[in-house]
Amino acid sequence: MNFFEKDKKNSFFLTNLEIESAYKNFSELTSEEITSIKKIKSENFKNSETKNSFELNIIDHRSYHFLIFQKKELIAYSRLVPPSSNFKNLTLERFCVANGYKGRGISRILIKLIIDRAADLFPKEILSLSSLEETKLFYEKFGFISNYFTHDENGDIHHFMTRKAK
């Protein structure tokens, strides 16, 4: 099922919810989008390293950035990091939804967009992520499988999960 109609380069529009989405390279992000990304990340992540120095992170410069807007306001964000020496697999990170939009199905829209674009951009790559216990079931609904390896990140247990390329 395709949620979006394509209307311009790397931009999609969900007609009945007035939701627009885009995926961009770092160099394509506007200063307003970077500010909005910092804000949504600060709402969602406790880790100060994740909150700070967005522009200075070399991984951000190599990644695809997925943004969902409603009425020009950023309501969801994530990044997709291509495989490299630092990341063995294609890696989904910083998946977050603005506090006022949680529980409205925005996460499902964002994950579906990322999975579809990842399949286009990296058709043979395994997609991996690190999930909190409370979000593990959500990712499983989209074909991610826990490999039972966990790690502690700032006192929270995270599960390593992967999704095979189709």
**For residue 73, what are its two tokens?**
């306001």
* Number of separate domains in the chain: 1
Taking 70 as the pLDDT cut, the residues of the chain under it are 1-17, 46-56, 85, 154
End-to-end, the C-alpha distance of the chain in Å comes to 15
| CATH number, domain containing residue 153 | 3.40.630.30
**What's residue 150's pLDDT?**
73
Q: Print burial letters for 80-116: b (CB count within 10 Å at least 16), e (below 16).
A: bbbeeeeeebbbbbbbbbbeebeeeebbebbbebbbe
**What's residue 32's pLDDT?**
94
The model's pTM: 0.81
**In whole angstroms, what is the distance from residue 151 CA to residue 115 CA?**
24
- Can you give the residue range of the structural domain that contains 158? 5-163
Model confidence over 82-127: pLDDT tens digits?
Answer: 998 677 889 999 999 998 898 889 999 999 999 999 999 999 999 9
